[in-house]
Structure 1
Amino acid sequence: MPTTPELPRLTAAQAAARLGIKQATLYAYVSRGLLGRERTVAGSTFDPLEVEGFARARRRDSAAGPTETRTPTTGGAAGSPLMVLDTDIAQIADDELFYRGRPVAELIDRPLGEVAAWLWHAPGDAAESGAALLDSAAVATARSLVAALPRDSSLLDRIQTTVTGLAAVDPLRYNASADGLRRTGALLLAGIPRALSPVAAPHPASTAELLWPALTERAPTAAGIRALGAALMLLIDHDLAVSTLAARVAASARASGYAVVTAALGAFDSPLHGNASRAAAAMLAAVVAGATPGSALGAAIRDSGGVPGFGQGMYDGADARALTLLPLIAAIDGSAPTLAALDAVAAEVERRAGRLFPNIDLALAALALATGMRPDAGAAIFAVGRLVGWVAHALDEYEQRPMRLRPRGHYIGPRPRGLDRGIRP
């Protein structure tokens, strides 16, 4: 029988960084039997899948921890300020995702603009109303800015540039009111796919149809468009991700809609959030090209420091969004090799790590690979869908007391020099 390739082990520094703890805490977990390690002359090493599973368990325990572990002044777990904010947008219950009480799985075939208007408490279809407000010169400006970027610029670079371009020519860009925020959201939802697309937009067209040419050179199919539209819907909101919190912080300071989205994109453009599907796509592509699941997994762990596409601490089982999206990908012609690769990697992860399930990043990677999309297409899909959620959260924050998300720091640095002698620093 062929031997299973060993995954690259993590150093103590890498394991501690993955868990977000100090190395002393890492060794305390080892001494309590919570984590295994191997000692070599070069130092201690750790199994990356065991570390990943332990990280997921810690996130789940923190989310459901007893109230006495909460910090009274912040409402969050110790060391985690601003962990609890009221929200009426997304809820995860019994491993199912809901938007305002409606199962998201029931919304996947609805127009994104229609659901956006519902979440924004606005009449009609937000994408259609945005298209009516869009000036052709504004789209041309955004396209020219995108065209000036280097050829290898990422789709997120292009989205951020589009937001800047549309803002620069909008005379009402500083309208920091609820109506102004809804208007900006509608403009961006209609304008971003049009500015990114290399072809003229058909009319009428869904957000998925508009976005498709920016992601792949393949001709669109009904199954592909349906899967892309479902992905956009599934990604609207998911509790308080870091980008959503960034959007709320900007809205707390009464930033305009363009500034809110720009702030959110800054937190979103990161390997642990918006870009997570790219490493998963590379891993699946390697298996499709002939690599063994173990070697592809090992390379992904070596390059990203974790297991891309697996684990979501908000669920006890599998990520509900992945469970909804994967069957739609299976309906796309030619998707069988991609899904076979996904199943092979998932089986390898389960064998080595146990209860570590595929998440939405792996499903986005599979969608991109099955449709010939760019490797970073998942990030763009994620950003366009999450735009709807950012605006919904900003609208809610506009109704709260201004600047309420400005926390106070607790200084723990060195004592100012001269203070003991009565001299002000």
Structure 2
Amino acid sequence: MNQQSDDNYLTTAEVARRLNVQPATIYAYVSRGQLTSVRARGKRGSLFAKEEVERLAGRKVEHPGVVERIETELTLLQNDELYYRGRPVRELATTSTVEQVAHLLWTGELAKQEPFPAPADQVELARSAIQVAPPTARMTDQLRIAVAVLGAGDALRFSLAPESVISAARRLIGVLVDSLPGETAQGSLGTRLWPKLSNEPPQPAVLDAALILLADHGLAVSTLAARVAASARSNLYSVVSAGLGALDGHYHGAATTLAYKFLDRALHDPVGALSDQLRSGEPLPGFGHRIYQQRDPRAEVLFELLPDSPVLQSVQAIVKEVPGFPNSDLALAAMMHAYGLRPDTGEALFAIARIIGWTAHALEEYAEPGLRFRAAGIYTGPPIT
């Protein structure tokens, strides 16, 4: 490469200054095909075409409008199927571990992974924080408290390098699970969670499958909240806290609890419970979906894993009378009743699983222009006087 062509290229440091990002982000752009790196003859490091850098910089111009479309390589919902990085979630839920699927979403690689670590001192810190909560606190309340305290205790939380974020996410999930009240177990994430949720004989494979199925679902409201936080360059703990806050709404995370309560009534009289629900004028919990048209693949996988029991028979009796299709909320509710899990299990599983997805979205957002979410407010107040 001669001097004249060198003038048309920038070094990694120069690109980082031009785009106002960390050098590690430059290589994230390369891996995603947004920048192309070349080697200079007789020199170390990579070079990048000025024209390509300026084109990417053009996307970084601040504007007062809304970012209406978010490019993501993570999750695809198409033809009533769900895919993580192009792989069918139906298959992942029964052939991979939670740790493997998390690594797939975070890095694009599906490979054998060690269990999420749970350092004893951090587990003790989280448990101490959880004990402050009142007895009426749900598991999701305990998780929110623990995340805030663990974040405050991590002096390196402000490192947004991908390897630092992934390491923190692995540790956070492991510590959260082990710090919840109940016995501590070894094994898969589902095995570690089971004694926190039920006194029945363990069925961890069902929990592992549920965690995989719930890990991500595109740009749901909690995921969007997490990405907005990541856009402000909030650390992982703050990103997760933002997601947990949105998840707590009764239109989002609480949907599984509503389905659980409905199914509890239906176990004794399916048609009677359905009649009462229809008479109330309220939506039928656990049926239909904003995106899926004819079936929810997550629900189908979970129902296939459940044993034939009065719970499943009640669900089938309700489905026969309803024109819509059961969704993952009803499937989770059926799982909870079938195995005697805590009534707040659905929300907790949803929260723990979705931390995997929020982390993946944060990693993507850290590689985008900062503070790119800026809604245009339309003033409707009194006129200027």
Instruction: State the TM-score bracket (shorter-chain normalisation).
Output: 0.7 to 0.9
Q: State the alpha-carbon separation in 1 of the partners of residues 87 and 329 from structure 2.
A: 23
Q: Does 2:325 match 1:341? A: no
Question: How far does residue 126 in structure 1 lie from its aligned partner after superposition?
Answer: 6.3
**Could you tell me which residue of structure 1 aligns to residue 198 of structure 2?**
216
1:115 alignment partner AA = V
**Could you tell me which residue of structure 2 aligns to residue 364 of structure 1?**
332
Question: How far does residue 242 in structure 1 lie from its aligned partner after superposition?
Answer: 0.2
2:290 alignment partner AA = G
**Could you tell me which residue of structure 2 aligns to residue 195 of structure 1?**
179
- Please give the TM-score of this superposition, normalised by the length of structure 1: 0.71
Residues 126 and 248 of structure 1: is their aligned pair in 2 closer, same or farther, counting only changes over 3 Å? farther
**Could you tell me which residue of structure 1 aligns to residue 374 of structure 2?**
406
- Please give the TM-score of this superposition, normalised by the length of structure 2: 0.78
**Could you tell me which residue of structure 2 aligns to residue 295 of structure 1?**
273
Aligned mate of 1:320, from 274, 297, 300: 297
Residues 192 and 125 of structure 1: is their aligned pair in 2 closer, same or farther, counting only changes over 3 Å? farther
| Deviation string, structure 1 residues 9-47 (Cα, Å, up to 9, x no partner) | xxxxxxxxxxxxxxxxxxxxxxxxxxxxxxxxxxxxxxx
Question: How far does residue 393 in structure 1 lie from its aligned partner after superposition?
Answer: 0.5
Q: State the alpha-carbon separation in 2 of the partners of residues 138 and 174 from structure 1.
A: 18
Q: How many matched pairs? A: 320
2:258 alignment partner AA = A
Question: How far does residue 127 in structure 1 lie from its aligned partner after superposition?
Answer: 6.0
**Could you tell me which residue of structure 2 aligns to residue 115 of structure 1?**
101
Comparing 314-323 with 394-403, which one deviates more in the overlay? 314-323
Q: State the alpha-carbon separation in 1 of the partners of residues 218 and 108 from structure 2.
A: 22
| SS of aligned partner of 1:379 | helix
| SS of aligned partner of 1:120 | helix
Q: State the alpha-carbon separation in 1 of the partners of residues 280 and 158 from structure 2.
A: 45
2:133 alignment partner AA = L
Q: State the alpha-carbon separation in 1 of the partners of residues 332 and 273 from structure 2.
A: 21
Contact 1:252 1:402 in 2 (8 A): yes
Aligned mate of 2:144, from 148, 160, 180: 160
**Could you tell me which residue of structure 2 aligns to residue 46 of structure 1?**
none
Aligned mate of 1:100, from 72, 75, 85: 85
Question: How far does residue 227 in structure 1 lie from its aligned partner after superposition?
Answer: 1.4
Q: Does 2:122 match 1:143? A: no
2:194 alignment partner AA = W
Contact 1:269 1:275 in 2 (8 A): yes
2:246 alignment partner AA = A
| Deviation string, structure 1 residues 166-192 (Cα, Å, up to 9, x no partner) | 222222122233233212211112111
**Could you tell me which residue of structure 2 aligns to residue 86 of structure 1?**
71
Q: State the alpha-carbon separation in 2 of the partners of residues 313 and 261 from structure 1.
A: 24
Question: How far does residue 413 in structure 1 lie from its aligned partner after superposition?
Answer: 2.4
Q: How does 1:8-407 map to 2 (within 5 A)?
A: 82-109=67-94, 110-121=96-107, 128=115, 130-131=116-117, 134-202=118-186, 205-220=187-202, 224-288=203-267, 290-296=268-274, 298-299=276-277, 302=280, 305-330=282-307, 336-350=309-323, 356-407=324-375
Question: How far does residue 277 in structure 1 lie from its aligned partner after superposition?
Answer: 0.8
Q: State the alpha-carbon separation in 1 of the partners of residues 106 and 309 from structure 2.
A: 38
2:367 alignment partner AA = E
RMSD (Å) for aligned C-alpha atoms: 2.1
Contact 1:231 1:325 in 2 (8 A): yes
| Deviation string, structure 1 residues 265-297 (Cα, Å, up to 9, x no partner) | 000011111110111111111121x23434356
Q: State the alpha-carbon separation in 2 of the partners of residues 411 and 298 from structure 1.
A: 44
Contact 1:283 1:300 in 2 (8 A): no
Residues 258 and 101 of structure 1: is their aligned pair in 2 closer, same or farther, counting only changes over 3 Å? same
Q: State the alpha-carbon separation in 2 of the partners of residues 412 and 256 from structure 1.
A: 35
| SS of aligned partner of 2:251 | coil
Q: State the alpha-carbon separation in 2 of the partners of residues 301 and 251 from structure 1.
A: 44
2:269 alignment partner AA = A
| SS of aligned partner of 2:365 | helix
1:280 alignment partner AA = A
Question: How far does residue 219 in structure 1 lie from its aligned partner after superposition?
Answer: 2.6
Unaligned runs of 5+ in 1: 1-72, 75-80, 351-355, 419-425
Contact 1:127 1:186 in 2 (8 A): no
| SS of aligned partner of 2:283 | coil
| SS of aligned partner of 1:107 | helix
Q: State the alpha-carbon separation in 2 of the partners of residues 263 and 252 from structure 1.
A: 12
2:296 alignment partner AA = D
